[in-house]
Chain A
Amino acid sequence: MTIEELEQIAESVSQENAKYDYEVNVCMDLACASQGAEKLRDALVRAAEASGKSVFVRRTGCMGPCSAGPLVRVDPDETLYKHVHANHAEAVVASLGGKPVPELQCDLNEHFGSQVRVVLENAGYIDPEKIDDYIARDGYKALLLVLTEMTPSGVIHRITESGLRGRGGGGYPTGLKWGTVAKSHGDLKYVVCNGDEGDPGAFMDRSVMEGDPHRVLEGMAIAAYAVGASKGFIYVRAEYPVAVARLTAALRDARRRGLLGNNIGNTPFSFDIEIRLGAGAFVCGEETALLASIEGRRGAPRTRPPYPAMSGLWGKPTLINNVETYANIAPIVRNGGRWFFNMGSERSKGTKVFALTGKITNTGLVEVPMGIKLREIIDVIGGGVPGGHTFKAVQTGGPSGGCIPAEMLDIGVSYDALLKMGSIMGSGGMIVMDDTSCMVNVARFFIEFCMTESCGKCIPCRAGTAQMHTLLTRICDGTGTMEDLELLEDLCSTVKEASLCGLGQTAPNPVLSTLKYFRNEYIDHIVHKRCQAGVCNIKAPVEVLA
Chain B
Amino acid sequence: MRKNGFARHALIETLHTVQSSFGYLDDDAIRFVALSLRVPLSQAYGVVTFYHYFSLKPPGKHTFTICAGTACYIKGADKLIDAAEKHLGIPQGQTTSDGQISLMTARCVGACSRAPVVLSDGEVSGEMSAELMVEQLERWAVE
Contact = CB atoms under 8 A, between A and B. Distances in A.
Interface of A: 30-31, 33-35, 66-67, 69, 197-203, 206-207, 238-240, 276-282, 293-299, 355-359, 363-365, 395, 398-399, 429, 431-433, 437, 442, 445-446, 455
Contacts of B117: 34
B113 A66 contact: yes
B125 interface: yes
B47 A298 contact: yes
**Candidate in A206, A277, A442 with the most chain B CB atoms within 10 angstroms:** A277
A31 B73 contact: no
A297 B114 contact: no
Nearest to A241: B122
Contact of A296 (B9, B74, B75, B112): B9
A200 B125 CA distance: 17
B110 interface: yes
Nearest to B44: A296
A281 B54 CA distance: 11
A290 to B, nearest CB: 12
Contact of B71 (A293, A297, A431): A431
A279 B38 CA distance: 21
**Candidate in B8, B50, B54, B125 with the most chain A CB atoms within 10 angstroms:** B50
B9 A31 contact: no
Given A200-B108, A201-B112, A206-B110, A276 B71 contact: no
Interface string B43-78: 100110011111000000000000011111111000
B11 interface: yes
A445 B70 CA distance: 8
A296 B111 CA distance: 28
A34 B71 contact: no
24 contacts: A30-B110, A31-B114, A34-B117, A34-B125, A35-B114, A197-B110, A198-B107, A200-B68, A200-B72, A238-B53, A239-B53, A278-B51, A279-B15, A279-B54, A281-B52, A282-B107, A296-B47, A297-B46, A355-B113, A359-B74, A359-B75, A363-B113, A429-B70, A431-B74
B124 interface: yes
A502 B7 CA distance: 30
A358 B71 contact: yes
Given A239-B108, A358-B70, 14 more contacts: A30-B124, A31-B126, A34-B111, A197-B110, A200-B108, A203-B110, A203-B111, A240-B110, A279-B16, A295-B9, A296-B10, A358-B74, A365-B113, A445-B70
Interface residues of B, number: 40
Interface string B86-107: 0000000000000000000011
A358 B75 contact: yes
Nearest to B54: A279
A109 B12 CA distance: 46
Interface string B13-39: 101100000000000000000000001
Given A238-B53, A358-B75, A431-B70, A280 B115 contact: no
Given A276-B13, A277-B13, A203 B52 contact: no
Interface in B105-143: 106-115, 117, 123-126
A238 B16 contact: yes
Contacts of A277: 12-13, 16
Given A33-B124, A239-B106, A357 B113 contact: yes
B9 A200 contact: no
A445 B73 CA distance: 8
A279 B15 CA distance: 10
B31 to A, nearest CB: 17
B53 to A, nearest CB: 4
Contacts of A281: 50-52
A359 B39 CA distance: 48
Contacts of A35: 114, 126
A437 B74 contact: yes
A200 B43 CA distance: 28
A282 B115 CA distance: 20
Q: Give 5 nearest A-B pairs by CB, closest first.
A: A200-B69, A279-B51, A66-B113, A200-B108, A201-B70
B107 to A, nearest CB: 5
Contacts of A202: 108, 110, 112
Nearest to A275: B13
Nearest to B37: A296
B102 to A, nearest CB: 16
Contact of A31 (B8, B15, B108, B113): B113
B70 A279 contact: no
Contact of A279 (B46, B52, B114): B52
Contacts of B110: 30, 197, 202-203, 206-207, 239-240
Given A279-B16, A296-B10, A431-B70, A357 B47 contact: no
Contacts of B71: 200-201, 357-358, 429, 431
A296 B11 contact: yes
Given A200-B71, A433-B74, A357 B112 contact: yes
A290 B9 CA distance: 13
A437 B111 CA distance: 21
B108 to A, nearest CB: 4
Contacts of A433: 74
B2 to A, nearest CB: 15
Contacts of A297: 11, 43, 46-47
Nearest to B126: A34
B13 to A, nearest CB: 6
Contacts of B108: 199-203, 239
B39 to A, nearest CB: 7
Contacts of B15: 279
B75 to A, nearest CB: 7
Contacts of A276: 12-13
Contacts of B46: 297-298
A363 B70 CA distance: 14
